[in-house]
Each structure stands twice: as C-alpha cells, then as structure tokens.
Amino acid sequence: MSKLGTTEVLLNEKKLYKPSAKILKNAKVKQWKAVQAKAKKDPLKFWDDSAKELEWYAPWKQTFDDSNAPFFKWFVGGKCNIAHNCLDRWIGTPVENKTAIIWESDAGNKRKMTYKELNRAVCKFANGLKFLKVKKGDRVAIYLQNIPETAIAMLACAKIGAVHSVVYAGFSANALRERIDDQRAKILITSDVGHRRGKVIAMKELCDKAISGSQSIQHVIVVRQDGGHVPMKINRDIFYDALTDTQPSTCPTEVMDSEDPLFILYTSGTTAKPKGVVHVHGYMVGVHKTFQWVMDIRGDETYWCTADPGWITGHSYIVYAPFMSGITTVMFEGVPDFPKPDRIWKMIEKYEVNILYTAPTLVRALMSYGEKWPDKYKLKSLRLLGSVGEPINPEAWRWYYKHVGKGKCQIMDTWWQTETGMFMITPLPSMPLKAGSATLPFPGIEAAVVDENGKKVPVGKGGFLVIKTPWPSMLRTLFNNPERYVDTYWNKIPGYYLTGDMAHVDKDGYFWIQGRSDDVIKIAGHRIGNAEIESAIVSHKSVAEAGVIGKPHPIKGQCAKAFVILNRGVNPNDKLVNEIKRTIRSKLGPIAVVDEIEFVEKLPKTRSGKIMRRVLKAQELGEDLGDTSGLAD
C-alpha cells in the first residue's frame, strides 16, 4: 500500500475532483506515467516484450501489420495456442499440483481440481470432440452454468483449434438459437439442469427447443448435474461422461497461427441483432499482461471473479488469465447473496480469497442489506479488490473500500469491453485513487476524449471516449459482418476506435467514464451522463439502485426521469422525492434537474447486471423494445 493514505486522497470529498499535488508527485504515478511514455514512444517493442512472457511454438515475423486497416494483425506468422499457455506449460512443474479451480454450487456442493487434473479433463474432452469429427475452425456453442465443465470445454476447443462461443445460460431459447444459427455451430454443449437461487433450471429442455429444426447442430453433449432423466435424441445427443470416460488422457495441442480465431462472443445490440465479436489466439498477450500488472499476481493466489464465463469478463479473467498465471480461480454456480446476504463473505473467508473482482451492481445490492453482513467477517485474506462492468459510483466505492477491504485494500476500477478483450483504463496497485475514476490508460493504450469531429475536448468536459492506436487483444472483426465492424467502430470518428462510451478527463489526467454515448441526456444544452445522475441518486441513504432516462421536453429538449429502487424497509413518499432531488442538485449542480422520480420494485437489466436504460425509455415512451435477448427478466 502507498504511504499516501487512502483516507487522505481517496475519501476526502473536497479533494475528489481537484488536482492533487500529492497525486502528481506520487512515485507510483510517476513510474506508471514513465512506462506509459516509453510504451507510447515504441508501442511495438512494449507489446513485443509482453508477448515474449508467454510460450510460442514459433516466433512471429512481424509484430504488427496495418496494411489492411482496420483489420489489424498482431504477431504475424507467430505460432501458438492459448491452451498451451494455460495448461501444457505447467505440466511437469510444481504448478501441476496446485489447485486450478475451486467450485461451489448454489446448493453448497464443492469440487476442486489441480492443474494436472484439469489438463487431464481437457485432453479427454478434446479427444471426445475429435471423436465427434470436430476439427480446426469448427464452431462449438457452449450453454452451461458457471461450472468447471465450462472452462474445460473452452480449453478443449482451443486445444484442438475449434472456435468456442459461450452463450450465457440465462438467455432464452430464441436468443440461443439466434446465436447458433449466426455462427452455424456444429456442436452444442449443455447440462441436464442448472441451479440458481434454489431453483432448478431445465437446461437440456431449453436447448432442445432452441435447436429444433437446426441445420447446423450435429451433436448435443450433456453434462449430468443431477443425474436424473432427460430426453436424449438418438444419434445426436450424448452424455459428457459417456463421451469422455473412454478417451485417452493425453491430446496433442494444435499449433495455431496468432491470428486464428479463438472464440466468438455475442454482444446485444440496441436495435440491431447481436454482434458476434471475434477474438484470436494472440489475444492472450494483452490479457496476460494486464492481469499480471493490474492484479499484481504473485504466483500463489486465490482469485475470485464473480462474473460468469458467458461474458467477456469470464473469458478473459475467470478462465484464461488466471490459468496463464498458474493461480487458483474460484467458480461459483449461484448468486452471492443466496441463501443469505453473507454467502459471498463466507466463501471469501472459507477459501481465503486474496483478490475479489466484482461488479458495482453487486456492490450496491450488498450495500442495501447493510454493513452488518460483511462486518461479521474478518476477510483478512483479501489484499486487492476490483470493479468491472460499469462505472462505480463513489458511494458504492467507499462502502466497498471500507466494509469489504476494511480500509486496507485498494480498488482496481477497470474500464474495458467485450471488444477490447482486456483492461484498457485501469489503476495499478499502490497508486492514489479517486472514488469513481478508472484512473489512467494501461501502457501501450492511447485513449482520448473527443467531440464528434475527433477534436480533443478541454479538461473536465464530457465527450466521446476513443482509442487512438490498436492493441493485441482487440477484436478482429464481427463474425460474417466485416462491414458492420468497420461502420460501428471505425467510420463514425475516422482514425479512432469508437468505444461508444462517454467520459471526461480531469486535471490529473484521470479518466471518468460517464456511461454509453446513447445514455447521455442533453438538458437545456448541457450534456449529463445518465450514470452520473444515477450515482448521485444512489448516494442517498435510502436508495439501493436507480435507472435514469431522458425524455423529450418542449422547452429544454430533454428532461430526466429516474426509476428508483429503495432499500428494504423504506417506504416511498413525497418528502423522500424532494430529498433525492436535493441530493442530485448538491452532487451535480443546478443543471442536473430530474423532473420525475418513480419508485419501482425492479429494473430491466442484462444478465451481467447492467441496467437497460433503452428498455426503460422504450417502455416509458411506448416504443418498440428492440433486441431484448440480453435481458435477465
């Protein structure tokens, strides 16, 4: 920890948005900025050196190729396989006997696997896939809960050169079918049932509905969770254990080109169909480097990312990065507040978790139960906390820091995307932090905030967040839709990768993410991020969560309406409405006027926990809801 003292720099409201001489002079910030400057001067050498930290079958002939921009290539001619770096490299070393996966289910069932055991399981399943005629380049859809077989399936696909596409196991049959059809998946991997909040989910039954009449699926592999009877179609369906039990426990790893596809991951669109983001084997370089530096990996760690493998966070930082680092990753099939709000804290204490990486949505949900739950536990094993998925409001940040980290653990607030594949704007441990800021771009990443013409905006002014130069873990295209790839990310502000997020930069150079560019309200000429207003609302002691939308207004152009979930036991009333409005004004100033506040029981969210503001807006205005396949409910 920095001697700077987090209570001095991080939690003092008066210093929160002002430039701090101590921040500018801090040794860790100076070191970080020096590395950034060096990487900016010669980014190819930075990424070249980073790639050499992993093992390759054959070296690359060219670090970067932009001859067909924006279809960039990295480590051209290099031969590798991410599965080799996750497993093969550890076999025959002391790491093979370390615990790779700690798994616990909703009902409290437990499993542990060493690296040696995981490698054996991956090889047997890889041989099973080859037995079913899966070959290099074939697409394999994975529809599983957060269980070890999800990681095994991903690694087995990578090992033989197949392209995996994990579909979050909360999607509907129609959403699953849409993703299978788009990629023409050959194999579907699922389970008989899943478990969540004490409920049994009929996974196989849903899959049967999804692939009814499918022209591409040749086989369905079913993991037995409960061992009960499920309907199996002859010559198509096969149980996972029946497939793997007779297979050899060794399997050669396919030599892949750095640019060979590794996986397709779909992101929900606003009005258009989901986008199939394509990542390649070379993506391993950025994922490994960021994990090592940002999470300060020390070789003998127990790490828990509470996301699901069905999202990019689960791909990069539940499965691939921890295994490339040879540490223990926790997988949890359930929700962290079931059956009681102390489930997550019990597990941290039981498994001696060192690093906790979670989402602001979960932090706010746990806040609503009160600090008595985490305060019951010592949580002394924790040394670092992380935040992912959306901007974390300062109130939640401070609660997380005080009651989870016990005032001793810094919070790595990471900004990145499905498309970026890796952390892009993030702190480094021991840096002075500001509650709610993602701090600085990772070395090798050049980020900026610009207007619609690509001109850099003044300090403190909101604008479009863009990335100025390519990076190794970036998406290569959208599956079967290169035109949409170019139009969505590169054409709108030529010369830059357009993230779709709004942000501003303060006088210390720290980045503040404001939310999606289509989630910004313009009230009487002032651009205000929905997330900023939501953050102000949630700072009120009676509020658990909030979603804010912009509505047409005859005079101001737009006005804001808030949908608010109150803490348990708090009753809505007019006095509370006025208190919340005063809180918003005190936090954001007189331009932040919320005309309407409606108290609700729940908010439409994606299954990764993000509030779907466009759905709120469509419901409010009586418009078409668009693509709702990403909704949790």
Which regions of the chain carry the CATH code 3.40.50.980? 84-257
Q: What would the pLDDT profile of 416-469 be if each residue is shown by its tens digit?
A: 999 999 999 999 888 889 999 999 999 999 999 999 999 999 999 999 999 999
Nearest CA to 507 out of 2, 15, 4 is that of 15
Spatial separation of the C-alpha atoms in residues 594 and 452, rounded to whole Å: 26
CATH of domain 522-621: 3.30.300.30
Assess contact for 475 and 312: CB atoms under 8 A: no
d(CA 469, CA 150): 33
Please report the pLDDT score of residue 527 as a whole number: 61
pLDDT at 556: 72
pLDDT at res. 8 = 32
CATH 3.40.190.10 fits 84-257, yes or no: no
| Block residue for tokens 């401070």 | 398
Question: Is the distance from CB of 218 to CB of 251 less than 8 angstroms?
Answer: no
- Alpha-carbon dihedral of residues 7, 353, 388, 608, nearest 10 degrees? -140
Measured between its terminal Cα atoms, the distance across the chain in Å is 41
CATH 3.30.300.30 residue ranges for the chain: 522-621
> Which residues of the chain register pLDDT less than 70?
1-25, 268-272, 522, 524-527, 555, 589, 607-608, 627-633
Q: Which of 131, 122, 178 is nearest to 150 (CA)?
A: 122
Summarised one tens digit per residue, pLDDT across range 573-621 is 999 999 999 998 877 767 778 999 999 999 998 766 778 888 898 899 9
Query: In 318-453, which ranges are E strands?
Result: 328-333, 355-358, 384-387, 410-413, 425-426, 440-441, 447-450
The H-assigned helical ranges of 469-612 are 482-489, 530-538, 574-588
> Which contacts of 84-87 are long-range, i.e. CB under 8 A and separated by 24 or more positions?
84/55, 84/57, 84/253, 85/54, 85/55, 85/284, 85/288, 85/324, 86/155, 86/158, 86/319, 86/320, 86/323, 86/324, 87/115, 87/118, 87/119, 87/122, 87/155, 87/159, 87/323
